[in-house]
Chains A and B, each alone.
Chain A
Amino acid sequence: MIVEMSKVQVLGPRRLLPETLQCLHTQGILQLRPVSDTPAARPDQMAQRTLRRAPMARADLTKERSLEEICRRLHELLLILPVPEQGIPDKAGLPDVASTDFLSRLEVVEAEIRALNDRRLALEEERDLATRYERILTPLVPLLGELGEATHVETVGILVRRDHPEILRLLKQEVGRITRGAYTMLFRAVDKEEAGVLLTVPREFCRDLSHLLFEQGIAEIRLPGRYASQPFVATLLLLLRRRRELPVEIAAVEVELLRVSRRWSEPLRQAHRMAQDRLARLRAIADCGETDHAFVISGWVPTERCKLLASALEETLQRRVTLLEHAIRREEYDAVPVVLRNPGCVQPFELLLSLLSPPRYGSVDPTPFLACFFPLFFGLMLGDVGYGAIALALALLARKREWGGETGRKVAAIAIASSVSAIVFGVLFGEVFGGLGGLVGFHPILFDRTKAVLAFLGLVLVVGGVHVVLGVGLALWTALRHGEREKTIAKLTTLALILVACLVILACLDYVPLSLAKWALVTVGPLLGVLMTVENYLAPLELLKILGNVLSYARLMALGMASVMLAEVANQMPGLFTVVVGVTVAVLLHAVNFAMGCFSPTIQALRLHYVEFFDKFYQDGGQPYRPFSLAS
């Protein structure tokens, strides 16, 4: 259900505005409403002249900028620090964010953390480089012995593609021409695509060789700055040595960072929250109104908590401020924040509603209906004891292991309800992994889905009809509650026409006397006339849409049949192949069917709610409730 809200105004002497905001912030109940949006300020021009938006003092603006900067710095530091393990943290503390020595203390801590982080980043970069060059250079190590120890030569490493062997031939020709044959070229594959080449040439030809490689677009192995100044062989050895040393050095820095995190994480986090709270209070001033002597804070509060807020204000500010509660007018409904409250077993289904925008204040919260019909539709589609039991086991495991946090807990609760429904319908349809239940004397109680196709179709259409009529009924109830006469008549007429259609169908199926249907048909003309009068001449088309909506529930039967047929195909596999192959294929097919059986029914059940059911009564566009509350 949608919790009833109250529109409130807090009034008091202007000098008490900061204290009042602090009290409201601590209570965390009121959602602020900017004073310009307050309808009371608009119609009365006199009030508009005297009541103005509270301006921010120059000192407050400076404080705001400073707090923003502090928040940014603290956020960055918290991102750098690793999450410390659970346990008793080392004792450390930071002064209040508003105090003068906070910034100087923060600078010291920041310098320590940033120095460690910079060192870690540099080491990681060097490790990545060394890893990259190791891949290229290691295959060339065996070639170094063949080069000899000549000191007047230079060794250059290059990479060439292996799928173009003519490159090497051309390179040999050109290098031979430049050096007049005074060179050594050694070749070795690096991987499937590239080969490494070591070229040793006299020092005086080095420059010409580099020009040649550049002109031909051949990649010379360029080493990082700190290695480049050394001879190629020394560089290679250094790289290999560093490759072994770097992980140890990185681990040491990470241990140090963890030590710092144990000491500073919590104080920094507290300071961050404190800074955020102060910033929020400063910014809230802009939402307040003031006259020459008084302030006004407007907002929304859940009605049941109004008294609590009033007594908190009274106690904290010794009756120097007043809380006024006003009735909410219908035209204000669009701006009223929405709080949903449902029983514990229904609450997880609010997650399914969160895919749409929240319901508008004053309309119907469809969560209880989702909680009833979503598992019902899922069970009708999956309807198998075996698949349901696996889904239930997985859902219970997910809940026990707390996978996915709060959202995971809600998903697990929905999955438990849906899988229990699948097990119940599995018992009714006599299905355990398709027809396997029959082998142990498990028989359908309701009907066999593979044979009673029309009965299954009839069942899902009846369920669809009930669902759609419930939607129209909820629209009628909303119209009645809001005193909308024309809408009430239109919805009543629609329900009457649906009743006539039901009577005609039942008469055709010999469930009711034909004469009753004839009498009912007589009323169709007048009812259509009423409908067109209160709405418009296109209103009867809505009835055709309702018929289409009901037929759409046939998807419950379609997916249910597809699921059981695929299970039957899987069960026939052992008879078609050898036992091992057949059972393997059957298990795989059942696994595919289970995965599809969990995914498709979820989407289809959601669609039936969003399109067929909500279309009748759901009014979206509600504002989520965001109270002015502390981050700490």
Chain B
Amino acid sequence: MNLPIVWHVLGWIMTLEAGFMALPCAVAVIYGEESGWYFVWVALLELLIAVPLIVNKPRSNVFYIREGCVATALGWIVMSVMGCLPFYFSREIPRFTDALFETVSGFTTTGASVLSDVESLSYCMLFWRSFTHWIGGMGVLVFLLTVLQMPGGSRMNLMKAESPGPTVGKLRPKVRQTARILYAIYFVLTVAEIVLLMAGGMPWFDSVTTAFGSAGTGGFGIKNDSLMSYSPYIQWVTAVFMTLFGVNFSFYYLLLYRKWKQAFTFEEVRTYLLIILAATGLIILDLRHVGLAPADTVRDAFFQVSSIITTTGFSSVDFNLWPETSRTVLVILMFIGACAGSTGGGIKVSRFSVVFKTMFKELHSYVFPHSVRKIKVDGKSVEHEVIRGINVFFLTFMVLFTLSVLCLSLEGRDLVTNFTAVAATINNIGPGLELVGPTGNFGLFSDFSKYVLIFDMLAGRLEMFPILVLFYPPTWRDTLRRRRA
């Protein structure tokens, strides 16, 4: 393990975070809030730690996937720990575990909160909370790659570790250009949403934070009732943008370069939109007895579906009170998640479609035992390695999920709460059902359960293995051995 280069990357991550903290400072200045100072102190602290790490250039440029995973996982942990300090020092979130949970939930774009009264936070803290979504949505390391000139092999391995999806597709030959294009699309879409929200009469602070929440598919609201009290127009805009951010960003790239044919035959995006349509239809049917106006039903159904499948977690209605079929549909959507290569979490549509195709292939082989059939996506056959990776991902996901539910059950709450609490965190959604529903929060769990959920959120965001590698002893064996020698 080439640890010096990992430290070097960590140094840059902290510098970057310190830079990002300038924004909440600016908000504090605008609203004249004292608590803005905490961001200054934490930023300085980060720079103090980071500068020696950056100045100390690593001797070797060896950077394999192992270094990529460790740098990414440690990077996210360090970033979360540092990012929670303003909340903790300012006593606005008085307990460290809570502050950390809130920040991890922010960076991983989960949006699960431990706070019962969000509105009591100061503006700069609220802003930082939502801003962490925006940073975490596309990823810090991807951002780092747009500005830093890293040695050759490291770029791809960092991007691989951080980007969601079974395979990482580069848009351009260089990682740097790819990262820039991704961030440009991300930025433009975010600005578009802010403008449209403000056009609907939403105050600027609310528009910006809501846009951050939906761009990163995070879901931290700045109101206790999420988006329930905003106008239908704002809810529509948010719902549509959530869907947009759940689309594979390669799609926008194809549109940008006028590759229409490829764009409109993009299998994953089509399946994703189809699922949204089907789920919305199903819920509308299920809600027809509730007695709302048809327009409201359609909006509520679409908003919730869009929010859950993209793993954002905003709510325009307390869906915990919906009939059982609708609730079940939402829970299923939690697992499906958004497209690979988007800012959303979950298992991802592309993985599901490959798994279904594998299933049918297996069925086919029962009828024609000697048949040979290649699984194809977008007309191209999928390599066996990729399919194997997807299957292993599924298994790992299940194992981690089951163990987490078991850990939570030790506290003796009901299964639906525990099950959806884990589902909502490991898939980076936010609210679950029952006690952790849209109007509830995660504050009721013990510290132990919170750490389990923090682990789930990170594992979910980084898609299991980068985080698991960190806890796998052989990763560290050679490093420790050399130390001792």
A and B bound? no
B residues engaging A (CB < 8 A)? none
> Which residues of A are interface residues toward B (Cβ below 8 A)?
none
